[in-house]
Structure 1
Amino acid sequence: MVLFGTKGYLYQLAILTLVCGQCGNPAAHTLRKRVTKFTLFFVPLFPISTKYATQCTFCGAEQKVTKEQAEQLQLQAQAHATGGQAHGQPQHQPYQP
């Protein structure tokens, strides 16, 4: 008997302040990576699917993003955390009404 299947993993990559496309509020958004791995005898072997998304912490709306967009958002979060510019990218200023 051979047991195989899939298992999902969720990684939080960054937290950013963005304007939500759903509720319109400037709020913290979590950048997440979902990886589905093939398993054999309950041992995860290799990834079969990787997806990225942001989720608004105010209203809970989730928006899918591409891998390239996720990498850019991570760079923005790292630049903001260090207080400097990362790889020549302009530093984004926080939203002020």
Structure 2
Amino acid sequence: MLVIFGLSRKERPLGLVALGCGACGHAGPQPAVHRRTRFTLFFVPVLPLRSRYEMRCPVCGAGRTLSRDDARRYGARA
């Protein structure tokens, strides 16, 4: 019997967050994304494993993890 399983990662853009970068000091808006990781069985998503909200600076590439409430507070559609 053959069982095919793995992980599926999806990324959904939420919008722009009006918050400066802590690493380089860039004061412009940064894109926020919602990343989900799910366990798949026979290529069908079965079980959600991880859900996180992140933003990444377009200048230096430094990332920052946001809570769901922070993503809403800073202006992204969470």
TM-score (norm 2): 0.83
SS in 1 for 2:28: strand
Task: Provide the aligned C-alpha RMSD in A.
Answer: 1.6
* Counterpart in the other structure of 2:54: 53
Measure the CA separation in 2 of the matches of 1:62 and 1:36.
Answer: 18
User: What 5-or-longer segments of structure 1 have no aligned partner?
Assistant: 79-97
* Counterpart in the other structure of 1:34: 35
Identity %, equivalent residues: 34
Q: Quick check: 1:6–1:39 contact (8 Å CA) kept in 2?
A: yes
Paired residue total: 76
Q: How does 1:68-83 map to 2 (within 5 A)?
A: 68-73=69-74, 76-77=75-76
User: What 5-or-longer segments of structure 2 have no aligned partner?
Assistant: none
Measure the CA separation in 1 of the matches of 2:26 and 2:44.
Answer: 42
Q: Quick check: 1:27–1:58 contact (8 Å CA) kept in 2?
A: no
Distance change in 2, residues 1:17/1:70 (3 Å): closer
* Counterpart in the other structure of 2:4: 3
Instruction: Kindly provide the amino acid, as one letter, of the partner of residue 30 in structure 2.
Output: H
* Counterpart in the other structure of 1:62: 63
Measure the CA separation in 1 of the matches of 2:23 and 2:31.
Answer: 15
TM-score (norm 1): 0.69
User: How far 1:51 moved relative to its partner?
Assistant: 1.0
Measure the CA separation in 1 of the matches of 2:11 and 2:70.
Answer: 18
User: How far 1:38 moved relative to its partner?
Assistant: 1.1
Larger RCO, structure (CA 8 Å, separation 6 or more)? 2
